[in-house]
Chains A and B, each alone.
Chain A
Amino acid sequence: MRATVPFILLLASAPVARAAETTTPASTSVPADSIIETLKVQREEIKAPKHESLRFLKDHRVFVRSQLDRLRTQVTREHTNGVQILDARYLKLQELSAAIAAAQDTIGGEQARAAQQSLLSSVTELGKLEASLDLMDSLLVDERARLLWLEKDFVGHQETALVIVIRGLTGQGLPTGIAIAEDNEVTHVTLSDADRASLARGGIAQIFHEFVEPRTHALQVKLEGGAWDTRPASVVTLDAPRDRLTFLELDLSSALTALSSFNTRVWYR
């Protein structure tokens, strides 16, 4: 009996459907603003489970959740592929920063000399002044070249990230790895034999390149392996500006001394 009802409805609706199909071309000419849209609210059907499952959890959800709320999780990442290939541009940026600082000093000095010489009126003195102006021009050309290089490098690379490079451990007993911790996240970087050999020859290794939040970061850096396990972690604080790449260089040579902190250098892109 129940099965016959949809069947009858189906039969009854068939002519209507056919009529709708035949009138479709006419309806396309109806203006869009004449369409009446209606909204009907219906209650969602809750499908009862066939068999009850996880009954204890559901019955004691408040207790279980209260126990879980008291936990905090710490995520540990293992970088098993060792250090990464260092992008040469990162070091180039450091060189550019130094060149800019030197050029600024030179321009400052020349400006001071020009101010003094402006009072001189002899032709000889004017010749010297012209030479100084030529020097400043050449510095400006260099500056323009650096800016062009930076502009080219910046296109499409607006991101807040942190790159950590290490150097300065050349002796025996190199660590097997480095742990970098902040808040509840720890990143372990394992140094391969090739990495350690590179460091021993005075090389630089990139150990970290991740997106970070644009804020002040306090990183706990700990060398691992052998005697290094007994050395306490060193805290390195740095600011990571928004949409910029922050570089942190850790000079680990101070780890061999009694100093509890590392010598660091920070630069930005």
Chain B
Amino acid sequence: MSTFTHVQGLAPDIPLGLPSVGRNRSLVRRHPHVRSWLVAAAICFTWCGATRAGDNPSPPFSARAGLDAAVNAAHAWATDAQLVYLENDEVVGPDGNAGRWGYLFYSENRGRARGYSIRDGKLDEASDLDFELDAPPVSTTWIDSNAALAAAEKKAGAEYCLANNGRLATMLLIRGAFHERTPDATTWAVVYTSPTAPALFVVVDAAKGEVVRMWRG
């Protein structure tokens, strides 16, 4: 028969990976505040790690609000760089704002496209596009993501989400790719997805703010 003895007033050994210093010579035992400091340091470390990993939500902003930062970065890369595409990099809220937007620029002189991800008004990520994309530059005047989403929601998006338990997946701005009749127009494409139904594409004319095309697929 074995017996267990519970000793009060002494903390169990902390496996710090240090050489054993003996019960009475332990830093934790000699200085009771050390444990509090270690706990506080661990919390701080965890918080910092979470922030760096992007778990901390950044203030959402509209697509146009981040454009200046993206243009500045792109022009530092190539003075002839022109915006050819943009897309939300994080979830878009019901007001059309997102915590991060991605802007793709194309330089005729360099013959390459480079993407810039903007968060909180600052450059978060920049990388070359690893495939060729011969996209025309978007027009200089386009409605912001707020207005585009409002138009898409009003036309079909809200109804689709309600009926199919759907959600807004992507908003992207491009010229020529989604407008069959007027390929010169710059358009927003608002993509809704659902676990029970095919995705819904709503194309909004970025100059007029009108829905010009919809399809499922």
Contact = CB atoms under 8 A, between A and B. Distances in A.
Contacts of B183: 70-71
Given A51-B125, A67-B178, 10 more contacts: A49-B127, A50-B124, A51-B124, A53-B115, A54-B104, A55-B89, A68-B176, A68-B177, A70-B183, A73-B136
B147 to A, nearest CB: 20
B136 A64 contact: no
Interface residues of B, number: 28
Nearest to B124: A51
A56 interface: yes
A100 B172 CA distance: 65
A231 B97 CA distance: 49
B176 A53 contact: no
B205 interface: no
B85 interface: yes
Interface in B144-201: 169-170, 172, 174, 176-178, 183, 191
Given A68-B133, A71-B136, A54 B178 contact: no
A218 to B, nearest CB: 24
Contacts of A49: 125, 127
Contacts of B104: 54, 57
Contacts of A68: 133-136, 176-177
A37 B125 CA distance: 39
Nearest to B177: A67
Contacts of B133: 57, 61, 64-65, 68
Contacts of A51: 54, 89, 100, 117, 124-125
B178 A53 contact: no
Interface in B103-137: 104, 115, 117, 124-125, 127, 129, 131-136
Contacts of B134: 65, 68-69
A52 interface: yes
A49 B124 CA distance: 10
Contacts of A69: 134
Nearest to A63: B177
| Residue from A49, A50, A54, A67 whose CB has the most chain B CB atoms within 10 Å | A54
A43 B123 CA distance: 29
Nearest to B117: A53
Given A50-B125, A53-B102, A67 B176 contact: yes
B176 A71 contact: yes
Nearest to A52: B89
Contacts of B132: 65
Contacts of A53: 89, 100, 102, 115, 117, 125, 127
| Residue from A50, A53, A69 whose CB has the most chain B CB atoms within 10 Å | A53
Nearest to A69: B134
Contacts of A70: 183
Contacts of B169: 56
Nearest to B174: A64
Contacts of B129: 54
Interface in A65-85: 65, 67-71, 73
Contact of A57 (B87, B176, B178): B87
A51 B132 CA distance: 21
Nearest to B116: A53
Given A51-B54, A51-B124, A56 B135 contact: no
A3 to B, nearest CB: 16
A56 B133 CA distance: 14
A54 B115 contact: yes
A126 B177 CA distance: 84
Contacts of B85: 54, 57
A56 B135 CA distance: 15
A68 B54 CA distance: 33
Contacts of A73: 136
Contact of B172 (A56, A61, A65, A71): A56
A33 to B, nearest CB: 40
A54 B102 contact: yes
A8 to B, nearest CB: 22
A57 B131 CA distance: 11
Nearest to B52: A50
A64 B178 CA distance: 9
Contacts of A52: 89
